[in-house]
Structure 1
Amino acid sequence: MEFPSEENRSGYNGVAVLFHWLIALLMICGFYLGWVMSDIPGFTPAKLRYVSWHKWIGVTVFALALLRLLWRATRGAPPMPAAMPKWQRAAAHATHSLLYALMLAVPVTGYLFSSAAGVQVVYLGILPLPTITGPDQALKALLRTAHIALNYTLLVLFATHVLAALKHQFVERDGLLARMVPFLK
């Protein structure tokens, strides 16, 4: 099977677009749930439900990010607009690389945080995932801090990514956003 060369594609294929928007939606929901559940004192039924959903979203984002990376590695990406300056290409590449790294690191730190807290992750309430570490209060505190810091780093990069895409759509008018939003073509 032959894949289109970068020169012959103007946008991402349907699978890449689906991965992009599904992961983006899940990350928004996961961040929102994390924020809301952190403000609920104690262990109420609502907080426990939100914590479970947050973990399920994290596991799902991790799995989808791995699949997305595999897809991207085998299919490549369409070329950037020819008129885009080199520094913008480099910034886009760095931002995308960091976004991919954070799509993996955020769920991993959350998963390890649960392990260090002595709480097994049971995906969708059905599939118990292995516990990586035993309960460890010091490690738990470190992983909680790392998880939160990485989440806020992801939020900043996510916002930067969105703002850059909007700049290209409405200021540069170079068609870059249409690569990931097919109805803009």
Structure 2
Amino acid sequence: MQRYTKTAMLLHWLTALLIIAAFFLGLTMVDIHGITPTKLKYYSWHKWLGVTVLGVAAIRLLWRKANQPPPPLASIPAWQHKVADGMHYLLYFFIFAVPVSGYLYTYAAGVPVVYLGLFQLPAIIEPNAELKPILKTVHYVLTMTMAAAVVAHALAALKHHFVDRDATLKRMLP
């Protein structure tokens, strides 16, 4: 069985953990009523996670371009390989689109992104009251669609492991 490289595994699982953390932190922070110190802290952490996801995703994409993944398992039908490839492209799209949409929404709201509390990221758009609700909706829809895609991806991996009993999941486990 050919496995993914240790670097590919690390980048995959790190991306997954960061996305899951950002997702649940996002759900938690928006449910806090009013403007509280805790809510503001969670918003900062959420932004930091988003920026980190974007950075890890860029490294992951560069790694993927330079290092071919193992070949598809011969036991899996061709149509499933095509669906898996499509899902991977979709996930890569979301891994970039969700943080970028959050970044744009934040700046449209007139709030800076100060990464790890150390340095402010550049504002590529000015505060814009008309654009703010649109970008908020875009960020939300992209996030929820990404969550559905991540769940589908995880369920497919579990199906391969427990139902098909093939090596699909094992190739990505350390």
Same fold (TM over 0.5): yes
> Which residue, 102, 105, 109 being the options, matches 1:113?
105
Give matches, 1:43-62, under 5 Å.
43-62=35-54
SS in structure 2 at match of 1:133? coil
**Cross-structure match for 2:16:** 24
Partner of 2:32: 40
Paired amino acid for 2:131: L
Q: TM-score, normalised by structure 2?
A: 0.98
Question: 1:74 offset after TM fit, Å?
Answer: 0.6
**Any idea what SS the aligned residue of 1:151 has?**
helix
Gaps in structure 1 of 5+ consecutive residues: 1-8
In 2, Cα distance between equivalents of 1:173 and 1:45: 49
Give the counterpart of 2:86 among 91, 94, 98: 94
Cα deviation code 1:152-173 (max 9, x no counterpart):
0110000000000000001111
Kindly provide the CA deviation profile for residues 1-35 of structure 1, in whole angstroms up to 9, marking residues without a partner as x.
xxxxxxxx711111110001111001000000100
Cα RMSD after superposing both structures: 0.8
Aligned-pair distance for 1:135? 1.1
Which runs of no fewer than 5 residues in structure 2 stay unpaired?
Answer: none
| Deviations 1:97-129, CA, capped at 9 Å, x for gaps | 010110000000000001100011000000110
Residue 172 of structure 2 is aligned to residue 175 of structure 1? no
Mapped to 1, the partners of 2:130 and 2:95 lie a distance apart of 25
The amino acid across from 1:168 in the alignment is: H
Aligned residue for 1:5? Answer: none
Matched, 1:67 2:59: yes
| Aligned position for 1:3 | none
Q: Where in structure 1 do 4 or more consecutive aligned residues deviate above 4 Å? A: none
Shift of 1:134: 1.2
- Cα distance in 2 between the residues matched to 1:61 and 1:161: 18
User: What letter matches 1:47 in structure 2?
Assistant: K
Partner in structure 2 of residue 148 of structure 1: 140
The aligned residue for residue 127 of structure 1 is 119
Identity among equivalent positions (%) equals 52
Q: Secondary structure at the match of 1:137?
A: coil
The correspondence for 2:76, drawn from 74, 84, 105, is: 84
Query: Does the alignment pair 1:163 with 2:155?
Result: yes
What amino acid sits opposite 1:135 in the alignment? P
Q: Deviations over 1:33-72 (max 9, x none)?
A: 1000111111100000000000000000001001100000
Q: Tell me, in whole angstroms, the C-alpha distance in 1 between the residues paired with 2:150 and 2:5.
A: 21
The TM-score normalised by the length of structure 1 is: 0.92
